[in-house]
Structure 1
Amino acid sequence: MQYQTGFLNHFATQAVDGALPEGRNSPQRPAFGLYAEQFSTSAFTAPRSENRRSWLYRMRPTTEHGAFKPYSGAANFAAADGSHTTPNRLRWDPLPLSTSAVDFVDGLVTYGGNGGPSEGGIGIHLYAATASMTGRAFQNSDGEMLIVPQHGALLITTELGRMDVAPGHIGVVPKGMRFRVELTDDTARGYVCENFGAPFRLPDLGPIGANGLANPRDFETPVAWFEDRDEPFEVVQKFNGSLWATTIDHSPFDVVAWHGNSVPYRYDLARFNTIGTVSFDHPDPSIFTVLTSPSDTPGTANCDFVIFPPRWMVGEDTFRPPWFHRNVMSEFMGLVHGEYDAKEGGGFAPGGASLHNQFNGHGPDVESTAKAMQADLKPTKIDNTLAFMFESRAIIQTTQFAMTGGLLQSDYDACWTGFPKARLP
């Protein structure tokens, strides 16, 4: 597959020579009888630095469809209403894989979230799929979707082209863009952050300077690709928290050329340049931020996407795992592979998840704490691991499935039981 590189540059690409017009975005007669359509994910009058839009030149306009009707699939893909939310620290076993054919859309399960499409916030979902999406597409009109595969690679076909997204990578699909997910392995499982707020962007680097964290050049967006298929396609749309469906008589992936900066993209998390101390103290998780969705409060995110990749630990006279803390941010954590250094020895498994809502104390378990306090502090490589967090400034409300679906671990609090009492002189 071919890609263009750079984070939200203005790209121009065509699958057929001559399909991309020159000089005018919406010419009277586009080449080959194509239709010009603008795809906007920001207000028309947003500042230039914030404005996101792309011009699509397609075989048919997206206006050609019948009425949407309620969709009855994906029964556990739903908003959290807050009635099942507690202050307790929570941890879940991985989602099981179905023995029947379940695609990405029907395999989505909501664990929690906050806000909504009108006020910002996030939705947090896991997926477990055993079949590719065939003859159908999905459009999320409520939020941008950040997809984190944990098991099984995905082929994500969007209106602007195709992306292969394997575990260790992320894929991001803009709000309102149609896409389908095919499996390149027999099964697939992973995590999704549905972002209702400001689109994800790179965090400012501040005193870090010009280099570090995620580099713009390492983000990849697909080149134009289309399919000319005249056959029924189901389009499932998430709108205002509910799912709807309609059928069209052709493939929705018929964009022959496009240019702009409202685009899908992927990123290889192994390219993240981790920053850490070379003297003492454990830096806070902000230094692991890959992408951020800012809020109206400077420095307080609607959502941060944070990773904990392989890295060296070298601080002197320093407790090296994450310290015990209570935080204004709510933290939903997942594990792609390996062990997380603050929860060693089982319990937090790849494909599983945990939630520490704001101001509820958490940190390393008893065993990890004792090991870290007694360790010989020579340079140590944390390797063969990849964990991440979706962090939000608001309480993450949990769903009924998250609390009663049979995957919640009832003994999670026990990992913090048995800390020896400090002995004072």
Structure 2
Amino acid sequence: MTSTALPASGITVADPPPAAIRSTSTPLRLLAAVGHLAFMSLWGAAVLTVAGLLLGFGVAGLVFAGVGVILLLILLYVLYGVAFLETARVEGLYGFGLPMLRPRRSPKPGFVGFLHTLWLQLSDGGMWRAIAQVIIATVLGWIAVALVMAVVFGVVTAFAPLYASDDLMRMIGIPIDLGWAPLAGSAMALLALAAVVGVAALHGVLARVLVAPIREAQLAARARDAASQRQGAIRASEVERTRIERDLHDGVQPRLVSVGMTLGLAQQKIDTDPEKAKELVAEAHTSTKAAITELRQLARGIHASVLDDRGLDAALSAVASRSHIPVLLDVRMTGRVDRDAEAALYFAIAESLTNAAKHSRAAAVRVTVRERPEAGILWARVEDDGLGGARVVPGGGLDGIQNRILALGGTARLDSPAGGPTSLEVTVPCAS
């Protein structure tokens, strides 16, 4: 089985101004951080309790068939959900410009792909940094709540002379004279308040250390994707140029040479054997029309004018009508989208139909195209009922499809087990 997937570059990272990154200790953010920590003292405790229970029962349940595995799988995705929410919380509080965590998926098919996906998610450093931030924020939340209570108790103690009836009172278990209560209570409130501010500031520092690198990792991934797209564009242009040269050299050029030789023979026969000369001219005329047809098909492979004039649906209908095998076409689009996305999808489907006609021995092909504006993508699937066993060969049609799609930041997945069926899924970012 062959399955090939190319990376998507759907990461959009807004570069925040430097001030937004440095200002984690402004009074407003410190006050907001205290509120967040109070929330985390409850939310984090609940999360850690649930995660601990899932881990304990999951490990214990491994002795029973499947039960422990299921619990551990649930734990993994619970941790991912918690990490996603923690990243959103930190971004909402500090505005680091963090992209949201995205689940990692394997390009491999079947059960092996599922296991690989689990491993990719389990080894996601961004997720574990966010989980560490949850644990630290929970502990800091408990400390912050205790300190806020100390501030309240200090203020209450400072006003004790206004309501206390005894001359002696206790502050944190220490007996003090009522006359010293305002001073002791004020000192306690100020110290606890300073500690609360310190805890809130520490939360911002740790958030920057633990969670902010997610943004840097995403930027690095974005740079890698950009490099892959550039290489894909270069490779796609090379494959296209090679295809044009091959078609001209193997198809049109020999036919035009034959036309020239036939006309030469007709010129020699025109005086001595006019009838034979007419036959040769007719033969040359037929070959010329065939050469024009081949040139038209070659030009259509370079640029589809109907795509510009009438859109992707009409262009694919024209391709399907010329196919040597029946094509069931299902295109659902709300309107025109980005021209580059339409062109990439058009040529990918056209090349897939050509390959199916040449190699698959298929009786029918189904082409499905969907526009998903909420995700900003154009998706297509081409599936035939042929023999399968398709492979990506450097310089071949499938190689050209993948590189063309990669150049736009899309993904292409080929699944072609021996015996069939063969399916190609293509996803291209687009804008309406």
TM over 0.5: no
Q: TM-score, normalised by structure 1?
A: 0.23
As a proportion of its length, which structure holds more helix?
2
- Larger C-alpha radius of gyration, 1 or 2? 2
Larger relative contact order (Cα-Cα within 8 Å, sequence gap ≥ 6): 1
As a proportion of its length, which structure holds more strand?
1
